[in-house]
Amino acid sequence: MQDAVLLGVLLAAVATGFGLGIRFDARRKHRHPTTTDSSLAREYFVGLNYLLDEKPDQAIHTFIHALDVNSDTVETHIALGKLFRARGEADKAVSIHQNLLARPALSSETNAHVQLELAQDFIALGVHDRAERLLQTLLSQTGNDTYRLRAKRLLIDLLDREHEWQQALDTVHSMLKQQPGMRRAAAHWHCELAREEIGQSSRQLARRHLKKALQMDETCVRATLMLSELEMENGQYQRAIEWLERIPHQDIAHVPTMLPALQRAYERQEAPEKFESHLYRLLGQAPYTSVIIALGELVHRRDGVDGAIECTGEWLREAPSLGGLDYLIDLYLQSERLGGKATPDTRLLLLKHHTDALLEDRPRHRCRHCGFASEGLTWQCPSCRRWGTIKPITGIEGE
Ligand SMILES: [Zn+2]
């Protein structure tokens, strides 16, 4: 498909050049084409022959050779470079763009445009340091706002790939007013810096980065979770819980993410009754399966298996789910065992067999932007590379 587009662009560009030459001569009443025109015509037909012989690569090279660089064809050359890059032949795109930059007559705007394209070629080739240098030079030279913005976006993307979080933050700083959508990524860069500080035992600096993350994006669940974790490490369990209490207001979908930390904090406090009332509060906000199961386990420990069956069954009537049903079947099987039944009910075993099969290898998280599904939670989607878009799957088949 891309080959067809590439050949179409070339064929049209060379044919136009050839046709213009002939018309120009006709106006001057010349009967014979000039030498340049005849060589253009020859290459045009050589290219066509390659096409007819189904040799698209040779056809493309012949047409490019026929297409001279001048102010009328610069855009065509840029379009060709883009097509080569899209075909995975960024090295060819580099030579087209470098060839253009070698022309001293390019306007400063065209020069900036070609440099941007060349930077993208280098990124596609994985030569990130050259792309970075080119973009930095472009930013220091061009006054064109459109190209400056595009160069900054490319540079930020590059710094993000290279895990240069502080540099990414420095670059994004002046853009945040016009590009508020970048605040979410910036908050995660602060979280990454906090993680590095924690790795070097600098908890004070980590805390500072996490507060900045929340200033950048008040809905940054990750920063809140990390602040809660720092309080837990200090033995400040109540403060840890207070941080976690913010999460349902930041993003209700992350309640299953915070639940293990919440349980740990109440266990350290040895306050199961407080945990229970907290779970009821969460169920009032969103009756997620993981919260119902956590409550079921708590009641199980306190009132035994039959109390857990009653409590879980009631909540599952309101919010049915596959995981909840599986948990309930487990409770029924336990109840039978405790009741002294020698062999389990085969109907229950059959149901359990089905829920196990349906739950096996089921992804627990999904990117809300591109749909990438995974078992664990990652803060940056490995597929679309957006930050904070992967969340627990909730609902009938979810957490
Ligand atoms: Zn994604």
- Render 336-348 in DSSP notation, one character per residue: HHHTT-SS--HHH
Query: In angstroms, what is the span from residue 221 Cα to ligand 1's centroid?
Result: 17
Alpha-carbon torsion (218, 223, 227, 232), positive or negative: positive
User: Residue 326 is encoded by which pair of tokens?
Assistant: 């599986």
Residue 15 has pLDDT above 50, yes or no: yes
Is 191 annotated as contributing to ligand binding?
no
Among 175, 173, 215, residue whose Cα is nearest residue 191:
215
Alpha-carbon torsion (385, 178, 224, 294), positive or negative: negative
Judge whether 16 lies within some domain: yes
What CATH number did the domain enclosing 56 receive? 1.25.40.10
Q: Report how far residue 14's alpha carbon sits from residue 286's, in angstroms, rounded to the nearest whole number.
A: 64
What CATH number did the domain enclosing 368 receive? 2.20.28
Query: In angstroms, what is the span from residue 363 Cα to ligand 1's centroid?
Result: 14
State the pLDDT at residue 28. Answer: 40
Work out the mean pLDDT of the chain and round it to a whole number: 87
Q: Report how far residue 8's alpha carbon sits from residue 69's, in angstroms, rounded to the nearest whole number.
A: 18
Query: In angstroms, what is the span from residue 376 Cα to ligand 1's centroid?
Result: 14
Query: In angstroms, what is the span from residue 8 Cα to ligand 1's centroid?
Result: 34
Query: In angstroms, what is the span from residue 72 Cα to ligand 1's centroid?
Result: 40
Question: How many folded domains does the chain comprise?
Answer: 2
Give residue 397's domain range. 362-399
Query: In angstroms, what is the span from residue 158 Cα to ligand 1's centroid?
Result: 18
Judge whether 378 lies within some domain: yes
Q: Report how far residue 262's alpha carbon sits from residue 232's, in angstroms, rounded to the nearest whole number.
A: 10
Among 189, 199, 131, residue whose Cα is nearest residue 163:
189
pLDDT confidence band for 177 (50 / 70 / 90): confident
Cβ-count burial 340-365 (b if 16+ within 10 Å, e if not): eeeeeeeeeeebbeebeeeeeeeebb
- Between the ranges 67-76, 209-218, 336-345, where is the mean pLDDT highest? 209-218
Q: Report how far residue 152's alpha carbon sits from residue 241's, in angstroms, rounded to the nearest whole number.
A: 39
Judge whether 165 lies within some domain: yes
Query: In angstroms, what is the span from residue 382 Cα to ligand 1's centroid?
Result: 7
Residue 20 has pLDDT above 60, yes or no: no
Residue 29 has pLDDT above 50, yes or no: no
Q: What is the pLDDT of residues 111-130, one digit of tens each?
A: 999 999 999 999 999 999 99
Looking at 154, 178, 202, which one is the last position of a domain? Answer: 178
Looking at 178, 208, 227, which one is the last position of a domain? Answer: 178
Is 381 annotated as contributing to ligand binding?
yes
State the pLDDT at residue 368. Answer: 96
Looking at 178, 211, 231, which one is the last position of a domain? Answer: 178
DSSP output for 42-66: HHHHHHHHHHHTT-HHHHHHHHHHH
Query: In angstroms, what is the span from residue 184 Cα to ligand 1's centroid?
Result: 14
Query: In angstroms, what is the span from residue 386 Cα to ligand 1's centroid?
Result: 6
Query: In angstroms, what is the span from residue 366 Cα to ligand 1's centroid?
Result: 8
Is 384 annotated as contributing to ligand binding?
yes
CA 138 to each of CA 85, 318, 336: distance values in angstroms, whole numbers, following the listed order: 20, 59, 74
Query: In angstroms, what is the span from residue 222 Cα to ligand 1's centroid?
Result: 17
State the pLDDT at residue 153. Answer: 93
State the DSSP H helix or E strand holding residue 243, giving kind and residue range, or none if neither: helix 237-245
CA 157 to each of CA 120, 148, 302: distance values in angstroms, whole numbers, following the listed order: 11, 14, 52
Query: In angstroms, what is the span from residue 348 Cα to ligand 1's centroid?
Result: 39
Judge whether 343 lies within some domain: no
Is 370 annotated as contributing to ligand binding?
yes
Strands in 261-311 per DSSP E: none
Judge whether 114 lies within some domain: yes
State the pLDDT at residue 19. Answer: 47
Among 247, 181, 252, residue whose Cα is nearest residue 220:
247
Query: In angstroms, what is the span from residue 185 Cα to ligand 1's centroid?
Result: 13
